[in-house]
């Protein structure tokens, strides 16, 4: 006997027959893992983390972009400034443009000197004219020797041969106005010497509203009632009125307006008068003065700035 398995036998046709396969046990599928479950809080946490991350990334990008822009702006500005400076800088042989108002030696000088300065700058002499600085004054017939206050009109800002110029001229001893083409200010009454005389009634009406005639000039009369160390050498107190009167019974009747006489500029005019003097004075009406009395009260009195004063008698 042999230990080898039996060889398959051939059938009548010579074909070898394959032995039958023994029956196999049934096939079982592989075991599957149990399904995984996610906690309920996990999804919101993940969503929040994603949103925060996106926001932070966006902010970082914008900040970086802003820094880049800010850093680039000064560089661009510097570059533009340098270019503008280079473009504005004249070349060595360029002729600078001169402005009419920048021509030196024109204002506050004699008219002839101003004309010379303008013609030297390049303006034709025939294009230079003159006017009065005051709207209510006629044009001077001849500006020779007059003083130029200002250039008040030009046909162009720059100096050319065809530029026309008007010069505001005034008398040599005159005062140039602050504004051109305004009415000429009236001279003060102290300059003209016009001191208005008043009746007693007009005088009383005037002192009721002193601001209406402030700095106007008047001739007044009165009696000195206080001239001592309290008033000093530049002021006195007096009873005043509009009409000249003679004393009766040791005083001036109907001349009893308590007033202050003072000097705007100390000249000694009031240093020579004493209590009891009767006077005639040329004055300017000033602001009312308030002062305390010996009893502690306060009195307001009209104030007159004395230009001239002279005594014509005394109550003593």
Q: pLDDT, tens digit, for every residue of 34-88?
A: 555 555 665 665 666 666 667 666 666 666 555 544 444 444 444 445 444 444 4
Query: What pLDDT does residue 91 have?
Result: 40
Nearest Cα residue to 247 out of 199, 315, 312: 315
pLDDT surpassing 80 at residue 150: yes
Place of tokens 């006489």: 261
Distance CA 233, CA 6 (A): 169
State mean pLDDT over 111-116: 95
Query: What pLDDT does residue 33 have?
Result: 54
Query: What pLDDT does residue 95 have?
Result: 44
Query: What pLDDT does residue 68 have?
Result: 47
Nearest Cα residue to 302 out of 244, 241, 251: 241
Is there a contact between 164 and 129 (Cβ–Cβ < 8 Å)?
yes
Query: What pLDDT does residue 173 have?
Result: 85
pLDDT surpassing 90 at residue 223: yes
State mean pLDDT over 264-291: 93
Query: What pLDDT does residue 77 have?
Result: 47
Cα distances (Å, whole numbers) of residue 286 to 48, 193, 234, 262, 270: 86, 17, 15, 10, 17
pLDDT tens column, 166-203: 999 999 888 899 899 999 888 888 889 999 999 999 99
pTM above 0.75? no
Nearest Cα residue to 253 out of 315, 197, 205, 310: 315
Torsion angle of C-alpha atoms 190, 192, 198, 203, degrees rounded to 10: -30
Distance CA 7, CA 242 (A): 174
Q: 3-state DSSP call for residue 239?
A: strand
pLDDT tens column, 279-307: 999 999 999 999 888 888 899 999 999 99
44/101: higher pLDDT: 101
Give the single-character DSSP code of 133.
Answer: S
State mean pLDDT over 230-235: 92
251/119: higher pLDDT: 119
CA angle at 15 for the pair 10 and 17, rounded to the nearest 5°: 65
- What is the chain's alpha carbon radius of gyration, rounded to the nearest angstrom? 56
pLDDT band at 155 (very low <50, low <70, confident <90, very high): confident
Query: What pLDDT does residue 37 have?
Result: 56
State mean pLDDT over 233-239: 95
């Amino acid at each position: 006997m042999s230990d080898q398995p039996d060889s398959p036998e051939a059938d009548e046709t010579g074909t070898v027959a394959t032995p039958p396969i023994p029956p196999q046990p049934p096939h079982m599928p592989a075991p599957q893992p149990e399904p995984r479950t996610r906690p309920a809080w996990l999804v919101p946490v993940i969503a929040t983390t994603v949103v925060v991350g996106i926001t932070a990334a966006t902010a970082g990008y914008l900040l970086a972009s802003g820094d880049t822009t800010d850093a680039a702006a000064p560089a661009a500005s510097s570059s533009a400034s340098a270019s503008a400076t280079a473009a504005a800088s004249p070349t060595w042989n360029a002729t600078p443009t001169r402005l009419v108002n920048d021509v030196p030696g024109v204002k506050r000088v004699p008219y002839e000197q101003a004309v010379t300065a303008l013609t030297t700058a390049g303006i034709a002499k025939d294009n230079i004219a003159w006017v009065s600085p005051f709207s209510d004054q006629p044009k001077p017939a001849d500006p020779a020797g007059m003083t130029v206050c200002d250039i008040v009109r030009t046909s162009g800002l720059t100096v050319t041969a065809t530029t026309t110029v008007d010069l505001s001229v005034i008398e040599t001893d005159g005062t140039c106005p602050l504004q051109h083409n305004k009415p000429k200010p009236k001279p003060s009454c102290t300059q003209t010497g016009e001191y208005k005389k008043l009746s007693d009634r007009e005088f009383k009406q005037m002192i009721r509203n002193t601001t209406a005639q402030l700095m106007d000039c008047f001739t007044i009369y009165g009696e000195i009632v206080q001239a001592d160390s309290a008033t000093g050498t530049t002021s006195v107190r007096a009873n005043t009125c509009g009409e000249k009167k003679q004393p009766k019974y040791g005083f001036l009747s109907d001349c009893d307006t308590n007033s202050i006489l003072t000097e705007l500029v100390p000249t000694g005019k009031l240093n020579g008068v004493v209590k009891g003097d009767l006077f005639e004075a040329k004055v300017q009406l000033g602001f009312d003065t308030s002062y305390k009395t010996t009893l502690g009260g306060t009195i307001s009195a009209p104030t007159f700035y004395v230009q001239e004063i002279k005594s014509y008698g005394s109550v003593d």
